[in-house]
Amino acid sequence: MYKEKIRGIITPIITPMREDESVNEEELRNCVKRQIAAGVHGVFPFGTTGEGYILGEEEKERVLSVVIEEAKGKVPVYAGTGCISTKDTIRLSKRAQDMGADVLSIITPSFAQASQQELYEHYKAVAAAAEIPIVLYNIPARTGNALAPETVERLSELEGIAGVKDSSGNFDNMLQYIERTRDRDFAVLSGNDSLILWNLLAGGTGAVAGCANVYPENLRNIYGYFVEGRLEEARRCQDAIRSLRGCMKYGNSQTVVKTAVRLMGYPVGACRKPFDYLPEEGIRAISKVLEENERLGMR
């Protein structure tokens, strides 16, 4: 059952790098161990937060291999295999499948404008070729292509299309995904950390939460408390990440998240250039948030 399998807090794990921008595999293993120890429900290498947009194909394969080795079957591993072309997406998806990934996360094609029918045919072809579940990935601000609720509804009827991650930031869009697929086995995940609890309350199944790289236990508890019916405590955990989310105005979200993890003492390095800049004001703001949350015992 997709809703049983694709649920909870899935961490789009950062990709640690050394000063020469090579992947730091040892620290990547430590990141995976930290997430699993904190109780997250899945790990997702080379998503947006993991800088999948700037990793080469060989690097992606190596990162996926390391994450699968460290996860050891304790949590599902999601692999971001979306490319611009259908052909390349199928090839990379099959490779991830053969390597042992549990779920494919496939972002919409980018750069060229795609019609809804073209997006439908793209995903239909990939689903026909893949043998593991596919989660659609809608992030129009980054790709220029949005998956309309009507298209997600059509795609949810296909075997193998298991769910969707919505990073549009538009709650009504995510709500329509939920409403249009409520009568079938289909998972709707929030890609916006500010909307996790609201996704769950509306009938969604969880989130791919970048802030879990910083506070995995707190993010896990949003879901855990919700499932237990402890809604006030779930709300407090949801509210607790507002201060970190407020730092996103200083740069790319992946840069803010990776900087926060580094400032906590983990040697994860910087994001790969040119997407590595934060003003001093931003670094001070992140440091202040981390200090305040440490005093509160946030993890």
Residue-wise pLDDT for 232-269, tens only, equals 999 999 999 999 999 999 999 999 999 999 999 999 99
Domain extent listing, the chain: 2-239
Q: Can 87 be counted among the known catalytic residues?
A: no
Residue from 3, 165, 223, 266 carrying the catalytic annotation: 165
Cβ atoms of 103 and 78 within 8 Å: the answer is yes
Residue 2 reports pLDDT greater than 90: no
Architecture of domain 2-239: Alpha-Beta Barrel (3.20)
CA distances from 133 to 142, 156, 187 (A): 24, 11, 11
Cβ count near 126 (within 10 Å): 25
CA distances from 186 to 161, 164, 277, 292 (A): 8, 8, 38, 39
For range 84-106, the mean pLDDT: 97
Phi then psi for residue 166, to 5 deg, are -110, 115
DSSP string for 231-298: HHHHHHHHHHTHHHHGGGGGS-HHHHHHHHHHHTT----PPPTTS----HHHHHHHHHHHHHHHHTT-
Residue from 2, 78, 137, 250 carrying the catalytic annotation: 137
Strands 42-43, 206-208: pairing is unpaired
Per-residue model confidence (pLDDT) at position 5: 87
Q: Can 2 be counted among the known catalytic residues?
A: no
Q: What is the residue type of 110?
A: S
Q: What is the mean pLDDT of the chain?
A: 96
Residue-wise pLDDT for 41-94, tens only, equals 999 999 999 999 999 999 999 999 999 999 999 999 999 999 999 999 999 999
| Confidence category of residue 1, pLDDT binned at 50, 70, 90 | low
